Structure 1
Amino acid sequence: MSERIFRFAPSPNGHLHLGHALSALLNRQAADRFGGRLLLRLEDIDQTRCTPDLEREMLEDLSWLGITFDGPVWRQSERFAAYGTALDRLQSIGLVYRGYLTRAEIKAHVARLESETGRAWPRDPDGAPHYPGDASVLPPDEINSRWTNAAPFALRLDMKAALDQISGPLVWMEASAEGADLANTRPAPIAADPSIWGDVVLARKDTPTSYHLSVVVDDAAQQITDVVRGRDLYAATSVHRLLQDLLGYPAPVYCHHRLILGPDGTKLSKSAGDTSLRALRAAGMNLSGLMRRIGLA
């Protein structure tokens, strides 16, 4: 059997919190159980919010957790050329188009349609309305003007055209256990439905890639066999499976683990400073206490 390769891929745009600790530790446990490798990838595309200081502090937190990685650190900010190559491939088969509508224009258009028709406009799992298309909102001369004047735009995947490229059912393999217990579970197929996302963004005028595109390209480049990540990314796997098929990439086995929730029942975010590892360490929490708090004791 080929070597099992896992990865932990945080963004250094804030401090790691309890949820990151759970994910990193589960990945390390699984890699150890399979005799495999765990790689560290930093999703630092946003060079404004992702800073060297935050990266250094993130690495300090991972060291405090006792987590080691099996290979050099990958930084997405150093891989823009690879994402551009993948984007070019999708453009060459007619699956990418420019969208000039702003978020405010989309919101206003959708609100007007819902008011006029009394029907809800489709929204993606994150609650954002599906892209309505420039031609349904803007007159042709305005679209031409934005093109001519190099207005801000997003490069979007034509979802209908992309799905027409897929023959047969689109599925991913999902493991139901976590961490070391992954070795005792058999993954089951899950039907993917990328259409629920509409025409997703693959890149922008000022940003050469999106999360969806970069994560798929990097998982393939690093030969990741197992993706262990939070349940909040479960629905995004449908888009990732579609892009993998379109680009001819192999599909990893996925495991979407439980989330650590805050007192209000919502998932943690980096802005919740009281649950950051650095804040908890400063308050006197030790590693065994943290393990109990995240349910890994």
Structure 2
Amino acid sequence: MLRYLTLVLIFLLGTLAGYALSAQASDLPMLPASGNTRYNNLPVAELNLAHRQQRNGQFEQALLTYNSALAWQPNWVPALAERSALLARMGRDQEANRDQQLAERQNPTAAAFYLAKGRNGLMPFLALYPQEWYADHYGFPEERQISVEATTPQAYFIEQYLSIMEGPDTAQAVLALQQKVDQDVLAAKRSLETLPRDYNPGVKNMLLANLAMLNHDYREAVQLYNDAQLKYGFNWPELPYNRGLGQILLHNYMNGCQDLAQSAKAGFAPAGVMYQSLCNF
């Protein structure tokens, strides 16, 4: 059964990026408006304004706002991705595909991240759990250790998942992930609630935050990551990494990029990849 679920997960991971890039915009949640007004002299406020305009049904005005942002920086991947989604929502598929392809040419990793708004689309980008803590407490066998070559978020995600597939003490955490892959959020939350009372609260908060990220509740996710790091005092590099992704999806580039840089400095390789993709304008 575990082997079957593993194969299913790997298949899903292989198709998630394609799904996220091809899903109809009407099925995708819009990014929330928040964060700084500018980052590296980029007009982040215009992304926030365009989001508010879309939320109010002002699609033509939102399109003009994206056009203004892209006039400032024509190759800015977040604005290209969001304008692509808006154009698809407006039925202008040819223009939407043009923006999507331009974003992919600029940076395929960043384009996949910003366009991954469908169900579970963000899953391959997230760190599942703190590797150091799990290794110390559950003693992964040597063949399950995560390789140093797993530098991309997607490769790291698959190796993290495989490393805990056979761990009996983490069965409920694995089950919660499987249930989220099956798009059963309530069941996943119930599984986390059945973890032992003395289960590490930082780990539990991280797992709950990941569910919030996959459900596109970025503010809730950022708060849970904050609690794991600040309230419970854990400094695993996976926490600022995931939190940084949530901050960036809230258009808070200043804090998000700072989190990614902190995680990369601590040796978490996927953070360096995402920093170069999302923050190196």
TM-score (norm 1): 0.27
Higher strand share: 1
Larger radius of gyration: 1
Whichever structure has more helix as a proportion of its residues is: 2
